[in-house]
Amino acid sequence: MNSLSLPRLLRHDLTISWRRLCAFLRAKTNARGLVIVGAVVAALHVVAWPFATSLTQWAESDGRVYLMALGMVIVLPWLFSQGLTGATRALYSRGDLDLLFSSPLSPRKILTSRALAVAIESFGAVGLFLLPIADDAALQGGAVWLAVAPALAATVLLTTGLALAATLGLFALLGPKRTRSVGQVFATLVGAWFVICAQIFNFLPADWRDALRVQMDHPAPGGLFDPATPWWLPARAAAGQLAPLALWTLLGVAVFVASVALLGHAFTRGALSAAGEAQVSDGGREKDKKFRCDRAGALRRKEWRLLARDPYLVSQVLLQSLYTLPIALVIWKALGVGSVAVSVSPALVAVAAQLAAALAFLAASSEEAGDFVATAPVSPHELLRRKLEAVAAPVALFLALPLAALVWADAFVGVVTIAFALAAAASTAALNFWKPLQNRRGDLIKTHAQNKLVGLVEHGLSLAWAIAALLACLDRWEAVAPVGAALALLWLNAPRKARAAPQFA
């Protein structure tokens, strides 16, 4: 009997990916999922229209190749980050991998199927935003814009192949236990590069930008800005030049095929040792400590220990801190020299809000023994109070130094920032305690399965408090508007009637 063919195996993997997407979209049937995806794609085409208009005009004046080069600087790290996340998940998610490895399928076939599924998922995630722009641009500026799609597909194959090799390299270097944490942090850093790149040109001083423009208009032959050099191959491919597109596609396919051909056995070994790590390892070892039993301390210590041992949290904090950098830079650029303290203020408020939200989400939603804790002779209010204290302490610790520096630099701005950071942290933490999502901690970390609506409200609160802080720092009375918006959001999400605190059960 022949074992499962690659297309059927791939179909199986894609079915699982599709079901995951449907669950994310809360679509109970495939038809409903298709309708939602179709509606989103249509809406994105509408939203992308004016953006495509600007791009086609820019491309006419400055050349499509430069535009695509800028796009590639952003897209390449984004796709590589997607590939890293996908490859790590493929290695560590047990699911049906045990079944596949115990079957007579060759490791190469399993890896090929998994890698193709990762590549298709990455293409979907990035293409969802890029392809509507390219489609609209094609309607306005000609079919040559449609070359973005095959160029993107080739880029996805290339980055997936490289991400797979990087993940297995990390695995060989660091071992199964550390690779997942390091991989998550690494993917976060690479992903953050995308956000910073998106703004990098705007941050440059005007004379630098002029100098760059001269270089681009009159590139030195063989220099960095000469589109004839190999560095420009992906940009020329995306710009619709046929020979570079063919070459770029060939390169993407070659890297992908070489990765799966060479790494099949390494993937099997990696996945098996990842499984072994999950099932057999002794986890982390801790030192003997003095036994301490005060009730409040026991509740707080438990939360701190669990937070400190959470690898997802590290990448989350890093990501959120990095994402605020462009915000601070944009504000600083808009306000001019001498406004550093004011520029940093909303960024710190946003970090406080996001960090408190992340910690509260983990503390509230991933109470692994909620039922057990509910049987303890402790009131729900005390449980909530101790969890809030446990969340507040690391936020304060993380922000203490930058806030102190801010007070030292500008006392008024510093005090205003502290006040708004407190309000922001308290509001996003409260939101997560009011709307817990019961799950196993491990599952939450794997799937980042926060309630999407809560996530949206959380970002709304962060933004409102950050804008309010900025306006308050500038001594503008309009600060009351975002404060009002934040309070309204909180009121809308508060428990409807006075009742006992959440049970965490």
Residues 502, 434 contacting (CB under 8 angstroms): yes
Question: How big is the CA angle at 133 (ends 55 and 50), to the nearest 5 degrees?
Answer: 60
Options 291, 397, 497, 499; binder of another protein; rule CB under 8 A: 291
Please, is 335 exposed, middle or buried when counting C-beta atoms within 10 Å of its C-beta (0-12, 13-18, 19+)? middle
Q: Looking at 4, 149, 373, 437, which residue binds another protein (CB under 8 A)? A: 373
- What does each C-alpha distance from 144 to 56, 64, 148, 237 come to in angstroms? 11, 10, 8, 11
Minimum Å distance from CB 106 to another protein?
Answer: 30
CB of 412 to another protein, least distance (A): 42
Segment interacting with another protein, rule: CB under 8 A, options 25-33, 212-220, 370-378, 428-436: 370-378
* 368 interacts with another protein by CB under 8 A: yes
**Which is nearer to another protein, 289 or 496 (by Cβ)?**
289
Among 289, 496, 497, 499, binds another protein (CB under 8 A): 289
State which of residues 14, 21, 306, 314 lies at the interface with another protein (CB under 8 A).
306
Cα(274)–Cα(444) distance, integer angstroms: 19
442-461: contacts with another protein (CB under 8 A): 442
The reply to whether 369 sits near another protein by the rule CB under 8 A is yes
Site for another protein in 424-443 (CB under 8 A): 441-442
| Given 45, 108, 269, 301, the residue binding another protein (CB under 8 A) | 301
| Minimum CB distance to another protein smaller for 254 or for 369 | 369
Least distance from another protein to the Cβ atom of residue 498, Å: 18
Q: From residue 406, how far is each of 190, 288, 466 by CA, in Å?
A: 29, 40, 15
By CB under 8 A, name the one of 105, 174, 378, 437 that touches another protein. 378
How many C-beta neighbours within 10 Å does residue 397 have? 9
Closest to another protein by CB, 91 or 461 = 91
In the block, residue with structure tokens 């060479």: 262
CA distances to 14, 35, 101, 220, 376 from 124, in Å:
12, 16, 27, 38, 47
Nearer to another protein, 86 or 436 (CB): 436
Helix/strand/coil for 216: helix
Calpha distance 45→63 (Å, rounded): 23
466 CB-near residues (< 8 Å, 6+ apart): 327, 346, 347, 349, 350, 353, 420, 424
Residue 176: CB minimum distance to another protein, A: 12
Nearer to another protein, 94 or 305 (CB): 305
475 touches another protein by CB under 8 A: no
How far, in Å, are 10, 20, 35, 365 from residue 29 at the CA level? 21, 12, 10, 27
Decide if residue 298 touches another protein (CB under 8 A): yes
User: Which one of residues 143, 218, 290, 334 is an interface residue with another protein (CB under 8 A)?
Assistant: 290
What is the footprint of another protein within residues 310-329 (CB under 8 A)? 310
The whole-angstrom separation of Cα 115 and Cα 110 is 8
By CB under 8 A, residue 501 contacts another protein: no
Structural contact between residues 440 and 455, judged by C-beta atoms closer than 8 angstroms? no
Distances (CA, A) of 230 to 35, 134, 226, 247, 339: 42, 24, 9, 11, 42
Is 377 an interacting residue with respect to another protein (CB under 8 A)? yes
Near another protein by CB under 8 A: residue from 54, 57, 379, 438: 379
Query: From the list 45, 269, 302, 446, which residue makes contact with another protein (rule: CB under 8 A)?
Result: 302
The residue behind tokens 């980055």 is 159
244-283 footprint of another protein as x/- string (CB under 8 A): ----------------------------------xxxxxx
Task: Select from 374, 393, 481, 487 the one that contacts another protein (CB under 8 A).
Answer: 374
Nearer to another protein, 301 or 385 (CB): 301
Single out the residue of 218, 287, 496, 499 in contact with another protein (rule: CB under 8 A): 287
Convert 323-370 into a string of H (helix), E (strand) and C (coil): HHHHHHHHHHHHHCCCCHHHHHHHHHHHHHHHHHHHHHHHHHHCCCCH
Q: Is 497 in the site for another protein (CB under 8 A)?
A: no
Q: Which stretch binds another protein (CB under 8 A): 92-100, 148-156, 221-229, 293-301?
A: 293-301
For residue 374, the minimal CB distance to another protein (Å) is: 6
Which H/E stretch holds residue 252? helix 242-279
Residue type, 14: L
Name the minimum Å distance from CB 320 to another protein: 22
Q: Which of 26, 213, 309, 476 binds another protein (CB under 8 A)?
A: 309
Beta carbon of residue 379, minimum distance to another protein (angstroms, whole number): 7
Q: Which residues make Cβ contacts (< 8 Å) with residue 467, sequence separation at least 6? A: 346, 482
Tell me how far, at minimum, the Cβ of 292 lies from another protein, in Å.
6
Using CB under 8 A, which of 222, 230, 284, 338 touches another protein? 284
- Whether residue 119 contacts residue 252, with contact meaning beta carbons closer than 8 Å, is answered with no
Binding site for another protein (CB under 8 A): 278-295, 297-299, 301-302, 305-306, 309-310, 368-379, 441-442, 505
